[in-house]
Amino acid sequence: MAAQKTTVKEYIEWTNMRWDNAPDTEKPRILMIGDSIVAGHGDLVFDLVKDKLCLDYLATAKCVSDKDFMRELDYMLSLNSYAAIIFNNGLHGWDIDEAVYAENLHEVLTYLKTKTKLLVWRNSTPIRTVGDLNSFEAARNPRVIKRNADASVIVGGLGLPVIDLYTPMAENPDLFCEDAIHYTLEGRKIQAGIIAAFITNS
């Protein structure tokens, strides 16, 4: 039975698709899927792996429950075959019930597992408080933790490896920009290093 689709549009909807070293058909190609966090460290990851790998990313504001999410995903998948897919979704769709989010996350991950030999879950990063980066945002960060916990159960059942970005970002408030969601260049470099190390050692 298909997961329930619930689409609640944000004030600004956006999607960023990128294909680094697009003409190269010889090196293995990696796909990262996420939101603005992926857009923030995507090029930095590519710089670390470009001697051996090509890297594409799909960054979008859409929650996995949005019916248009799969349209964008299928477009990316239609253009290239991927040696690995690193997937995240969870920092958008705050009007979506957590049970609906989890149901759709399971459906998408199950589908993606048929599209690559290596599917990896990358958990969602923390949300801090604007004006007080030493504290976590009271309404949304508990939901990030809940979504990460639900995802952990799902990916465990599917036998997927996990890249943990929540923990190192939660331990370092100095890596956050003033908007309390995005990261300084140093923070993005740390994220890229973690992801690149995982890719090259897999």
How many Å apart are CA 86 and CA 122, to the nearest integer?
A: 6
For residue 156, give the nearest of 201, 121, 116, 131 by alpha carbon: 121
pLDDT confidence band for 110 (50 / 70 / 90): very high
3 state DSSP class of 191:
helix
pLDDT higher than threshold 80 for residue 42 = yes
pLDDT of residue 8: 80
pLDDT of residue 46: 98
pLDDT higher than threshold 60 for residue 20 = yes
pLDDT confidence band for 55 (50 / 70 / 90): very high
Out of 1.10.540.10, 3.30.9.10, 3.40.640.10, 3.40.50.1110, select the CATH number for domain 15-201.
Answer: 3.40.50.1110
pLDDT of residue 6: 75
For residue 69, give the nearest of 15, 29, 2, 135 by alpha carbon: 15
What is the arithmetic mean of pLDDT over 170-192?
98
pLDDT of residue 60: 98
For residue 32, give the nearest of 107, 94, 102, 89 by alpha carbon: 89
What is the tens place of the pLDDT at every residue in 71-102? Answer: 999 999 999 999 999 999 999 999 999 999 99
pTM of the shown model: 0.95
pLDDT of residue 3: 73
Across the chain, where does the E strand assignment appear?
15-19, 29-34, 54-60, 84-87, 119-122, 128-129, 132-136, 162-163
Provide the edge-to-edge strand list for the sheet that holds 15-19: 15-19, 54-60, 29-34, 84-87, 119-122, 162-163
